Structure 1
Amino acid sequence: MRRLGELEAEIMDRLWRWNRPATVREVVNDINKDRDIAYTTVMTVTNILYNKGWLLRGKSGRAWLYSPVRTREQYSAALMEDALGASEDRPVALAHFVEQMNPDEVSALRKALRAAKRQDTA
């Protein structure tokens, strides 16, 4: 999975944060609070995200409403999977990754592993 570009990430961040369908106009207005960007630029990139399968869209009157296909967490997990896949020795790469985790993250990982083990035995 290719990492999102800068504007793609900005658009997706808003949609993930808002947790509701939104129009291009809403996204543009929010981005313009921090920097100027043209409506057509955001519309083009949003359409690209839709064509790549990142967004769903549905009509609301004359406007399209966009919503993410995946959660932010699913996107992050896919990036981690790709990063591990780039290694010739996945267990070693995973070990290095875990070494960099803080105690809370290690605890969360242990909890996730226990849950995954329970699902495997069910």
Structure 2
Amino acid sequence: MGGTKRGPGKRRAQGELETTVLMTLHEAPEPVTAAWVRERLGDDLAYTTVVTILTRLLAKGAVTREKAGRSFLWTPAADAAGLAAHRMRQVLDGESDRDTVLTRFVSSLTDDDEQLLRSLLRQAGEAGPEEGGVSEKRD
């Protein structure tokens, strides 16, 4: 997975590097080191940058790690669907007008997808926050 070339001074979009690191982990045949991830990114990133991103992903529950000698082996915590959900959440987190983004997203769903979403929200609401359901509290 080669890195994306950017001109001088060009910055990544918010969450882009996290998504790239997660995608790289999903391509790994087994748990891998940060050095392995850095090598695959091919983007001249500092090793410490890769470790920082992996540590942030660990704090978010997106990856797991296990001690292996003096380093860690990293694994994605979710499957491809979980990765897609993580990317969707990153997009939403990067927007200042969450209400409008969610409204437009829901209005663009097919009828079947909208029904599925309604059903999932109902189930999550019935579970309650302590069981992983929808919380009443808003940030």
The alignment of Structure 1 onto Structure 2 pairs a total of residues equal to 109
Counting aligned pairs with the same residue, the percent is 21
**Does structure 1 residue 12 correspond to structure 2 residue 15?**
no
d(CA) in 1 for partners of 2:16 and 2:91? Answer: 17
CA separation of 1:96/1:74 partners in 2, compared to 1, >3 Å: closer, same or farther?
closer
What is the TM-score when the length of structure 2 is the normalising length? 0.52
What is the TM-score when the length of structure 1 is the normalising length? 0.57
d(CA) in 2 for partners of 1:68 and 1:114? Answer: 28
Equivalent residue for 2:118? 110
Equivalent residue for 2:37? 27
Structure 1 counterpart of 2:16, one-letter code: G
Quote the RMSD (CA, aligned, Å). Answer: 3.8
- In structure 1, stretches of 5+ residues that fail to align are none
d(CA) in 1 for partners of 2:46 and 2:25? Answer: 13
Say whether the 8 Å CA contact 1:24–1:42 is kept in structure 2. Answer: no
Say which structure, 1 or 2, has more relative contact order (CA 8 Å, 6+ apart): 1
Deviations 1:43-88 (A, max 9, x none): 333212145x22354431244312457853563453355356x228
Say whether the 8 Å CA contact 2:30–2:75 is kept in structure 1. Answer: yes
- In structure 2, stretches of 5+ residues that fail to align are 1-12, 59-63, 132-139
CA separation of 1:63/1:93 partners in 2, compared to 1, >3 Å: closer, same or farther?
closer
State the secondary structure of the residue aligned to 1:41: coil
Q: How does 1:47-58 map to 2 (within 5 A)?
A: 47-51=51-55, 53-55=56-58, 57-58=65-66
Task: Note the C-alpha offset of 1:117.
Answer: 2.9
Deviations 1:1-47 (A, max 9, x none): x83234x4222112246596321344356x37xxxx27x73633321
Give every structure 1 segment of 4 or more consecutive aligned residues whose post-TM-superposition deviation is greater than 6 Å: none
Say whether the 8 Å CA contact 1:57–1:67 is kept in structure 2. Answer: yes
Greater helix share, 1 or 2?
Answer: 1
d(CA) in 1 for partners of 2:32 and 2:83? Answer: 16
Q: How does 1:88-103 map to 2 (within 5 A)?
A: 90=99, 92-103=100-111
